[in-house]
Chains A and B, each alone.
Chain A
Amino acid sequence: MSTETCLQTATELLATWTQESAEPEPGRVDVVIAPEDLIAAASALMDARWGYLTAITGLDLGPDDGRLEVLYHFACGAAIVTFRVRVPREDAKVPSLVSVIPSVSFFERELMEMFGVVCEGTPNTDKLFLPEDWPDGVYPLRKDFSMEQLDGQAGE
């Protein structure tokens, strides 16, 4: 399959749940998907044997915007489809994809500790990269993180 056909297949598969879509650069499609549709959309790609999940990344839009974006990147050859799932900063929750892709657990653990997004139903909620004595409620990749939050804790 060429990159264009790959992307077209994905767009068709995801049409039911797509709220917005954009093409940030050739070979990439971004689709905005509601948190409640996430499992259904990911299953559609997986059931059709369309590529694999390469990474989950997060994006903090800042305290003014009040939202976090969770980005699920799927790749099939050179084609990349990204799910943009927008969640409120104060109550950041997404359903876990473990039922669809078991190995997603690692990505979700990283997402939880770095951005404080709760992945509901994920089997392991332990820290992945951060030390065990890291203070609760401090998320290093959020925009409002500062080193002062660590003072007197986690070492020094």
Chain B
Amino acid sequence: MTLNLDQTWQSVLDKLRSWARINSPWVIHFNSGSCNGCDIEILATLTPRYDVERFGIKLEGSPRHADVLICTGPVTRQARDRLVRIYEQMPEPKFVIAVGSCALSGGAFRGCYNIMGGIDQVIPVDAYVPGCPPRPEAIIDGVVKLLAKLQGHDISTEPIVIGEPVADPVAAEAQETEEEASAT
């Protein structure tokens, strides 16, 4: 029996890398034409109230140090080159999360003379988080599902799509508590 040391070391290193990557996804946030609604929600997500640091998520200013690119807004023709440049500056492996209706399809801006469409018209997207704007919980869900995918829990190559947000969260919550009350 022969032991290929190189391969063993490589696999140990890979495991270590993957472990480190999953436990500290540094994110960079780029707005390529958003109305700022989604950006505000991303800022809310980063506050201690939602405490994303428990997943090791940290906002990073430089694309060269970031693992995950969180994009908001449609891609305007002016922002396209900047978005591609930021994406290309990120080291491999890199992941892209599109946040908000406009980032998914162009949303309210679709068909406008200065709009390319959604983020996936320009760069590959790994997770889609719909909503106008999506709630911080949805954004966290998108990031966590992406991490789970990296961990190997989900082996499909299909991009992640977070479920459509509930139209009226207050009514949905009231209904939930009602159901709980009737169950007990």
Contacts and interface: CB of A to CB of B under 8 A. Distances in A.
Whether A and B are associated in the same complex: the answer reads yes
A150 B116 CA distance: 11
Secondary structure dominating the interface of A: loop
A147 B113 contact: yes
Contacts of A134: 77
Contacts of B77: 130-131, 134, 154-155
Nearest to A134: B77
B113 A150 contact: yes
Question: How big is the B interface, by class?
Answer: under 10
A155 B114 contact: no
A140 interface: yes
A140 B114 contact: yes
Interface in B64-119: 77-78, 80-81, 111, 113-114, 116
Interface in A95-143: 129-131, 134, 140
Contacts of A130: 77-78, 114
B84 to A, nearest CB: 10
B64 to A, nearest CB: 25
Contacts of A156: 116
A129 B76 CA distance: 11
Interface of B: 77-78, 80-81, 111, 113-114, 116
